[in-house]
Structure 1
Amino acid sequence: MHSCELIDSTLREGEQAPGVLFNPAARLQIIAGLCQVGIDEIELGPASPLQSCLPELLQEARALTAKSCRLALWCRCRAEDIAFAAACQPDVLSLSIPVSDCHLHTRLRKDRTWLRATLVRSIRQAFSLGIPQVSVGLEDASRAELPFVLETAQLAEQHGASRIRLADTVGICSPGTMRALVLAVKGAINLPVGVHCHNDFGMATANSIAALEAGASSLDAAVLGLGERAGCCRLEEAAGYLALVQGNKKYKPEHLPTLCQTVAAAAGRSIAANHPLVGTEIFTCESGLHQHGLSVCPATYEPYAPERVGSQRILRYGQKTGRRAVALQLEKQGLHLKESELQQLTRQLRTSEQALSEQQLFCKASSLYQKLERI
């Protein structure tokens, strides 16, 4: 997992979310933020002649990133789209083709013979137009027949694809089924395998990490999980987990809050106070049991130091706070109360409608008893 890669799709998958459309300035801000975090590849958008801004965006992004990451485009297996993508000169072109019967037969009214011919023709066209790396994304792979998934992956490998990307298009995988899918595909080809996980059942990040544990080399993600329906793997969760739990030094979690705030503002979305890694209240604590533990050793109830994500610990004292937590906090500030006084103060806190900050707690205790020190 230390050699894995994060592929950001905020400007492609993320912009597919209803009501989200990033302006040119926001796109460049997002790209700069992604580079600060250390993202390996940025998917700038879908390649289509309708996307007239893409050539200029790619040029500006190349100057902005200074080759610190790869710049990619996503593309359907259509000749005109591939030709447009090649004119933009991306580092990577991600061709997408469906492999499930639901998409192939029902949506497109095509058969597997058509798919084989189309995939081979598309890969050849991309290379003939000078695209250096071609990634093949297998849409709806999690609902497709496994033998056909393996056959398609092998066909892509035979014709020069540099990566196979497995899409859990409607988010039905669990970590166990994702692991099995990745292992099966890895056993059939000698190419890096990536995953693109959707969040319909709230498991996109978990499934993406499970894929890495099974040997996948990359995962797709979007800032705040923006995307179709319930979105996809959240970039901040994946990058944070890899950096803070797995010790991957490539990613810089301290830049995640600013990146998420940039995307939220540009997308017109809010960030919940308890949003993992970047929420404003994830290090705010009021319950007595946890405050006691934090006072003794922060690691008891914090998986990483708040400073690692540019945050800070905030303690609140109110209806959920116990006597022991109050005593420890006051002692840290040099105020030692008798047991009867502690009990009285705690009773007052527990009947108060508003929790107090550390300083407010100290002031309340001081004003009540007129004693700044008692040893």
Structure 2
Amino acid sequence: MEKRKINIVDTTLRDGSHAVSHSFTVDQVTAVAEGLDKVGVSLIELSHGDGITGSSVNYGFSKTNEIELLKAAGKVVKNAKLTVLLLPGIGTIEDLQEAKENGAQAVRVATHVTEADIAIQHIKYAKSIGMMTVGFLMMSHMASPEKIVEQAKIFVDCGADYINLADSAGYMLTDDVRARVSALQNAVDIPIGFHSHNNLGLSVANSIAAVEEGATYLDATCRGLGAGAGNTQNEVLCAVLDRLGYDTEVNLNGIMDVAEEIVEPIMQRPQVINTASLMLGYAGVYSSFLLHTYKAAEKFRLNPRDILVELGKRRMVGGQEDMIIDVAFELSQKNKK
């Protein structure tokens, strides 16, 4: 029986940017991109952690301009599609055009799970200039399967090549993933992808659940490098998929070598599930809030866990990073009473 193909989307150089405070250098990007391309991943995503032109006071400045990083990666990526992330309101159509001129072949346009309509013009423009285009629904635990189908159809209608569901908080259990992916599988006629964070230790299991419900694109990062407790660990995911009889076209020994020899030396800290990252998943908080929360906790002498619980109660989402300081300040004032 022919093995079912699963496309691996490696986002070490995008989601992993959060974990290294957006400090990737040209040499590091060149080495990682070349390694990933040689071992057979389908797409290599490279951007500031918050998408193209995310470098800012609010999200954190990049050490190296991302256009320079794209140019460097473009010189060594020969087989995979070099991909960028764009968040409407941060990146613009002009930024997208510049990314394409400097090597990007695909774009994933990401919105909050209930706001797909703000991506229509970006998706249509990307398709008009010949880019593979993905509609990316973030924080998908915050919407019902029915609402996700409604939003995904907006992406379908404007020409997206596939729909990517993101468990941005690492909050979902396997049944949550199954319900959302199966609903999409039954409602749209384009491929489905899944992006997971490991805040509850379920990223590989949830990715497999997504595949079993019909997903054919899976996001992952080498060594799990990413926001919060990290993303689905690419080399582990590929090993599990191989054991289960799926075809990723990724050389397993090769991806393990890239992770160990190239990515691991770049890492600033191990990707472990500590108390703060566990609370991200438990409370349903956007994973990239972790480092911002650590800084706020240090400034106001708070336990990061207390800040994260409050962020979860307020259902804060990506783009509200500047409000973490406000929440920490409010908690510090309450503690003084």
TM-score by length of 1: 0.63
- Structure 2: which amino acid aligns with 1:69? A
CA distance in 2, matches of 1:237, 1:227: 15
CA distance in 1, matches of 2:254, 2:198: 24
Shift of 1:18: 5.1
1:17–1:270 distance in 2 versus 1, CA, 3 Å: closer
Counterpart for residue 86 of structure 1 = 97
Question: Structure 2 matches for 1:69-218, cutoff 5 A?
Answer: 69-78=80-89, 80-89=91-100, 90-99=104-113, 115=115, 117-128=117-128, 130-218=129-217
SS at match of 1:216: coil
Structure 1 position 226, deviation (Å): 1.4
Give 1:150 deviation, angstroms.
0.8
**CA 1:246–1:26: 2 relative to 1, 3 Å:** same
Q: 2:52 aligns to what?
A: 47
For 1:184 and 1:177, the matched residues in 2 are separated by 11
Partner amino acid, structure 2, of 1:97: T
Is the 1:135–1:165 Cα contact (8 Å) retained in structure 2?
A: yes
Q: After the TM superposition, which residues 269-284 of structure 1 pair with which residues of structure 2 at under 5 Å, given as runs? A: 269=269
Q: Name the CA distance, whole Å, in 1 between partners of 2:116 and 2:74.
A: 34
- Does 1:11 pair with 2:13? yes
Asked if structure 1 preserves the Cα contact closer than 8 Å seen for 2:229 and 2:271, the reply is no
Q: Contact between 1:78 and 1:122, CA under 8 Å: does it hold in 2?
A: no
C-alpha distance in 1, partners of 2:54/2:14? Answer: 15
Gaps of 5+ in 2: 56-61, 273-337
| In 2, Cα distance between equivalents of 1:182 and 1:80 | 28
> Counterparts of 2:178 and 2:165 in 1: how far apart (Å)?
12
The answer on whether the counterparts of 1:76 and 1:82 sit within 8 Å (CA) in structure 2 is no
1:182 and 1:215 in contact (8 A); partners too: yes
**Residue aligned with 1:9, SS:** strand
State the Cα deviation string for residues 144-180 of structure 1 (Å, max 9, x = none).
1322211110111011111110011111222222122
TM-score normalised by the chain length of structure 2: 0.70
Mean Cα displacement is larger for which, 169-178 or 240-249? 240-249
For each residue in 1:196-220, what CA deviation from the matched residue of structure 2 results, as whole angstroms up to 9, or x when unmatched?
1111100001101111111101111
For residues 202 and 116 of structure 1, the distance between their equivalents in structure 2, rounded to whole angstroms, comes to: 28
**Whole-Å separation in 2 of the counterparts to 1:256 and 1:80:** 31
1:33: Cα distance to partner? 1.6
Structure 2 residue 253 is matched with structure 1 residue 241: no
CA RMSD of aligned residues (A): 2.3
Paired with 1:137 and 1:249, the residues of 2 have a C-alpha distance of: 21
Select the structure of larger CA radius of gyration.
Answer: 1
Residue 282 of structure 2 aligns with which residue? Answer: none
The secondary structure found in structure 2 opposite 1:257 is helix
SS in 1 for 2:92: helix
Identity of aligned pairs, percent? 26
The one-letter code of the counterpart of 1:215 is G
Which letter maps to 2:160?
A: A
**CA offset at residue 19 of structure 1?**
4.5
After TM superposition, what 4+ stretches of structure 1 lie above 6 angstroms from structure 2?
none
SS in 2 for 1:136: strand
Report the more deviating stretch, 42-51 or 175-184.
Answer: 42-51
Q: Deviation at 1:118?
A: 1.7
* Counterparts in 2 of 1:49 and 1:182: CA distance versus 1, 3 Å: closer
Equivalent residue of 2:159, what SS? coil
**Alignment partner, residue 57 of structure 1:** 69
Indicate if the aligned counterparts of 1:157 and 1:189 stay in contact, CA closer than 8 A. yes
- Per-residue CA deviation, residues 87-112 of structure 1 (Å, 9 max, x unaligned), is 12121110000025xxxxxxxxxxxx
Amino acid at match of 1:255: G
Higher relative contact order (CA 8 A, sep 6+): 2
Tell me the SS of whatever aligns to 1:10.
strand
Q: 1:226 to 1:131 in 2, by over 3 A?
A: same
> Does the aligned pair in 2 maintain the 1:166–1:195 contact within 8 Å?
yes
Aligned length: 256
Q: Any conservation in 2 of the 1:239–1:253 contact (CA below 8 Å)? A: yes
**Per the alignment, in what secondary structure is the counterpart of residue 94 of structure 1?**
strand
User: Which residue does 1:228 correspond to in 2?
Assistant: 227
The question of whether the paired residues in 1 share the 8 Å contact of 2:166 and 2:195 is answered with yes
Matched residue SS, 1:263: helix
How far 1:249 moved relative to its partner?
Answer: 6.6
SS of the equivalent of 2:141 reads helix
In 2, the alpha carbon distance for the partners of 1:218 and 1:194 equals 4
Query: What SS class does the counterpart of residue 70 from structure 2 fall into?
Result: helix
SS in 2 for 1:228: coil
Change (3 A) 1:55 1:116: closer
In the alignment, the residues of structure 2 paired with residue 249 and residue 144 of structure 1 have an alpha-carbon distance, to the nearest angstrom, of: 30
Residue 83 of structure 1 aligns with an amino acid whose one-letter code is: E
The CA distance in 2 between the partners of 1:271 and 1:232, in whole Å, is 9
Q: d(CA) in 2 for partners of 1:59 and 1:151?
A: 37
